[in-house]
Amino acid sequence: MAYWINNVSEMTGIPKSTLIAWERRYRLVEPKRAPSGYRLYTDEDVALLQRVKALLDAGHRISTVAEIVKREARPATTMEAPATPLPGGLESLRNAALEALLAFDRAEVDRVLSWLFSLPFETLIDQVILPILHEIGARWEAGEVTVVQEHYVSAWSRERILTMARGRDPGPTAPEAVCATPPGELHELGLLAAAFRLANRGYRLLYLGTDVPTDQLLALLRDRQPALVALSVVRERDDFDVLAYAERVLEALGPEGEVIVGGWAAAGLAHHSRERLRFGDAAEG
């Protein structure tokens, strides 16, 4: 995958001007150039820069960090474990990040998570962000956190996942995937995770979010004819209604388009899956 410098800056927490300065002075990474002349960073570049950020946050000077990463003399990819062992382990860092979020301490959250940035992005989502969201939901139901805290953590999670998803640059000729939820559906967690996975598999995203009016969604699909539509249905609904909604969405696509429906309300509908239409567990493939 390739990333623009603005996306890399968001993903690593390193200002754009600093990335350019380090490139010139330390030659930590040497991004390729698009035909337009803009920098394009690889997964390996991003992982190395995340490693640099973690070392800086641990108290090293940039000149020392440059020597460290060069001395390590091995490619740093997002599919490798961090070169520095995680202090206290993944669960400990995840809990520390959650407590920092509940305290509205974004700087501390970034410092804690800097230890995790060399992990694969899907691991970050599956083992860090999603568990944090599940935990905050459980605490909210138990009355242990406020609505403001729950909203802040949810907003942070949404921002983090969308930044990672939008950082992927499959190019203008990549197949398009539309992500949305039906009217009245306000739960976004599953849709965000699905959007990232689709971006990670090379789809160009059109992310519409929650509570999308059916007539407007169908009109958009007829006009754009995307390769895939990802729907998330969590709120309790009659199975017939979910099936009928999915059929309408499928009908709006061309003969090659595909619809996947995930979420709690679609979990029991996997046996209705067929070619170009998948529900529940069958939608994970």
Domain boundaries, position 127:
89-160
* pLDDT of 279: 92
Residue 78 lies in a domain: no
DSSP-derived secondary structure for the chain: -EE-HHHHHHHHT--HHHHHHHHHHT-S---EE-TTS-EEEEHHHHHHHHHHHHHHHTT--HHHHHHHHHHH-S---TTS--SSPPTTHHHHHHHHHHHHHHTT-HHHHHHHHGGGTTS-HHHHIIIIIHHHHHHHHHHHHTT-S-HHHHHHHHHHHHHHHHHHHHH----TTSPEEEEE--TT----HHHHHHHHHHHHTTPEEEEEESS--HHHHHHHHHHH--SEEEEE--S---HHHHHHHHHHHHHHS-TT-EEEEESGGGGGGGGG-BTTEEEGGGGG-
| 105 and 203 belong to one structural domain | no
**Which domain-ending residue is among 104, 129, 160?**
160
Please check whether residues 207 and 246 belong to one and the same domain.
Answer: yes
pLDDT at 193: 86
Q: What is the CATH number of the domain that holds 220?
A: 3.40.50.280
Number of domains observed in the structure of the chain: 3
What's the pLDDT score for residue 72? Answer: 59
Q: Within this chain, do residues 197 and 259 fall inside the same structural domain, yes or no?
A: yes
Please give the distance of CA 208 from its chain centroid, rounded to a whole number.
Answer: 15
pLDDT of the residue at 221: 96
Residues 216 and 262 in one domain: yes
Tokens read off for 220 = 């958009």
- CATH number, domain at 45? 1.10.1660.10
Q: What is the pLDDT tens value at each position of the chain, 285 positions in all?
A: 678 898 898 888 899 999 999 888 888 888 988 888 888 888 888 888 887 887 776 667 788 788 777 765 444 344 344 444 445 678 888 899 999 999 999 878 877 776 776 567 778 888 888 899 889 888 988 999 999 999 999 888 888 887 777 766 677 788 999 999 999 998 888 898 888 888 888 899 999 999 999 999 999 999 999 999 999 998 888 999 999 999 999 999 988 899 999 988 888 899 999 999 999 854 554
Q: Judge whether 260 lies within some domain.
A: yes
* pTM for this entry: 0.64
Q: Of 14, 39, 72, which residue sits at a domain end?
A: 72
Which CATH number does the domain housing residue 118 bear?
Answer: 1.10.1240.10
Query: What is the model's pLDDT at position 127?
Result: 87
| 56 vs 18: CA distance, rounded Å | 13
Tell me what pLDDT residue 73 has: 40
**Do both 197 and 279 map to the same domain?**
yes
If asked whether residues 45 and 113 sit together in one domain, one would say: no
For 182, the token pair is 């039906």
